[in-house]
Structure 1
Amino acid sequence: MNCIKEIKVSVLLAVRNGQEFIASSIRSVLSQDFKDFELLISDDNSIDKTIDVIKEFQDERIQLHQQKKSLGQFGNFNFLLSKAEGEIVHFWSHDDIMYPNCLSTIVNFHFENSNLGMSYCSGNYIDKSGLVTREWKFDGTPRLLNKNLYSKYSLTYGCLAGSISQVSLNRKNIGNNYYFIESYLLAGDFELWTRIAEKFTIGFISKKLTSIRNHSSQVSNNASSNYASVVEGIPITNRLMKYVNVDLREKPKIKREVILIHYFQRVMVLFVRKEFKLFISGIKLLSREDNIFLLFLTWIRFRLRTKDQFLKHRRKITSILFD
């Protein structure tokens, strides 16, 4: 137990214009039953009262950095990674809530599984008022995932950590050379987790340790993010497809009906929102991955199905990954 207490944690909070929720987010970190941590906060040139709210907290574990020029979400986190001194680094968001046992559970998990490159935990989703909008339910994801399993579950469910606030890196194992690609708008986290999974075991903590807040002002809710998700997501899923050990004859079907159909839907949203230039670019990108006519017909078939029929068919296709 003494060894566990000696493990220091760095909590990295990157924020821009977060005055509405950041106080409750910081309070949840400071209320942890595990005390040996540093809370590094980088304000990405906020134009609201975020800095004033942060400065109301008087705790020696808090280190505040103010950026004079916006670094972007992933650039801001990279800045914090360069400052972190903890063996375990836990990413955090200004609008989420940590349960009191969050850090202690993560530290214990990494102590018991000392070979991990990273871990992620589970949690409920809440709205602007803090009410639960989606309660997490166990989906069968194993405790430890090698590259093959990580790829299968990522292709089935998307980015395994639903939020960056659920992820911890073990820098004792992976070193200090893993950073986000700053040019990414949305999938910088998915890309980094995948890069780590290519070299290290990933751990999954099935306990609910966080509440993740969804609200309309988030970047992932912007219209243009649909195009970014396609541009950034396809190369990542192509990498994942290389690591799954399934019959080669099944891979085109899996790719079309699990992965590309998701991105096709994103592109169609661009059409509905009259973002025609992005729509055309998205169609061209998808046409490099598959026959666009067959992909369109698959999309039509899926749209004609009821929700239950769609989910049943999807389970049938994804089950091929686990046979």
Structure 2
Amino acid sequence: MSTKNLVSIVMPTYNAAKYIKETIDSIIGQTYENWELVVVDDCSTDNTIDIINTYDDARINLVKLSKNQGAAVARNTALQNVTGEYIAFLDSDDLWDKEKLTKQLSFMKENGYVFTSTDYAEINEAGEKTGTVIKSHPKLDYEGVLKYCPGNSTVMYNAKELGIFFIPDIKRRNDFVMWLQVIKKAKYVYGLPEALTYYRVREGSLSKNKKKLIKYQWKVYRDIEKLPLMKSVYLLIHKIYTVLKKK
């Protein structure tokens, strides 16, 4: 495994036994083969670890936390163990198109981009497409990311150019906090207009609880980004509007 153009894939997981095999299989099936997967298990109580251990692939690195600490700590732990020039993110219940890494890496190298995302299609718990496709924005700066958070499992950035970013221990919206850190250094995130990621919509998932998401959205604006009150109110209203519009 060459470290040149190596893509490190960050995957925190907790009780994902129902989906993680399909997710890992979507990585193994990539046409781009120079990758490493760092899975951090946050003390799963199901057989998630057993499933991961069935893979005999040197590119897969499993890290087990000693106690349950949440997605932010698991994500940071994974980032402490990456070695690639590029970092991509994949939630343990989402899927990638087999051309995802090939196309996104080419998109970055051909255009000199250091921070990118893609469109993504929603799938249900059974893995069936719902017909909903969320478009990436062609180009966003910091102000744009405040309004439109890229899909976590679509993002890739050049760690050789930008470095590694760690996030505060926030239970929800920790991916949003990370992209806000990255965009400050990258200046722009560019969207590849093709649905190369499949986002699984699950009942009871953190992202389904809109009220709590709004609460943590406010926390990001005020406590982490230290934005002025009126700007935070405006952004929160904008977020609520986009959530309602999506419905």
Same fold per superposition (TM over 0.5): yes
Report if aligned partners of 1:128, 1:215 keep a CA contact under 8 Å in 2. yes
Distance of 2:113 and 2:135 partners within structure 1: 24
Q: CA deviation at 1:189?
A: 1.6
Where structure 1 has 5 or more consecutive residues not aligned to the other structure, the ranges are: 242-251, 266-301, 303-309, 312-323
Q: Does 1:133 align with 2:130?
A: yes
Change over 3 Å in CA distance of 1:86–1:220 after alignment to 2? same
Q: What letter is aligned with 1:76?
A: A
Q: What letter is aligned with 1:212?
A: Y
Determine helix, strand or coil for the equivalent of 2:90: strand
Pick the structure with greater CA Rg: 1
* Aligned equivalent of 2:53: 55
Report if aligned partners of 2:35, 2:59 keep a CA contact under 8 Å in 1. yes
* Aligned equivalent of 2:167: 180
Q: What letter is aligned with 2:22?
A: S
Looking at secondary structure, tell me which structure has more strand per residue: 2
Q: What letter is aligned with 1:171?
A: A
TM-score (norm 1): 0.67
Q: CA deviation at 1:104?
A: 0.7
Q: CA deviation at 1:114?
A: 2.8
The counterpart of 2:99, out of the listed 98, 101, 106, is 101
Q: What letter is aligned with 2:154?
A: Q
Once the two structures are superposed, what CA deviation does each residue of 1:287-310 show, in whole Å capped at 9, x if it has no partner?
A: xxxxxxxxxxxxxxx9xxxxxxx9
- Structural mapping, 1:107-118, within 5 Å: 107-116=105-114, 118=115
* Aligned equivalent of 2:219: 231
Determine helix, strand or coil for the equivalent of 2:194: strand
* Aligned equivalent of 2:190: 203
Looking at secondary structure, tell me which structure has more helix per residue: 1
Q: CA deviation at 1:134?
A: 4.2
Distance of 2:48 and 2:57 partners within structure 1: 17
Report if aligned partners of 2:8, 2:37 keep a CA contact under 8 Å in 1. yes
The counterpart of 2:200, out of the listed 184, 193, 213, is 213
Where structure 2 has 5 or more consecutive residues not aligned to the other structure, the ranges are: none
Distance of 1:12 and 1:235 partners within structure 2: 26
Once the two structures are superposed, what CA deviation does each residue of 1:147-173 show, in whole Å capped at 9, x if it has no partner?
A: 3xx414642xx32x13x1111121011
* Aligned equivalent of 1:10: 8
Once the two structures are superposed, what CA deviation does each residue of 1:151-205 show, in whole Å capped at 9, x if it has no partner?
A: 14642xx32x13x1111121011123x21112x1222221221222122132211
Determine helix, strand or coil for the equivalent of 2:43: coil
Report if aligned partners of 2:113, 2:190 keep a CA contact under 8 Å in 1. no
Determine helix, strand or coil for the equivalent of 1:13: strand
* Aligned equivalent of 1:151: 143
Q: CA deviation at 1:124?
A: 0.3
Change over 3 Å in CA distance of 1:206–1:54 after alignment to 2? same
* Aligned equivalent of 1:91: 89
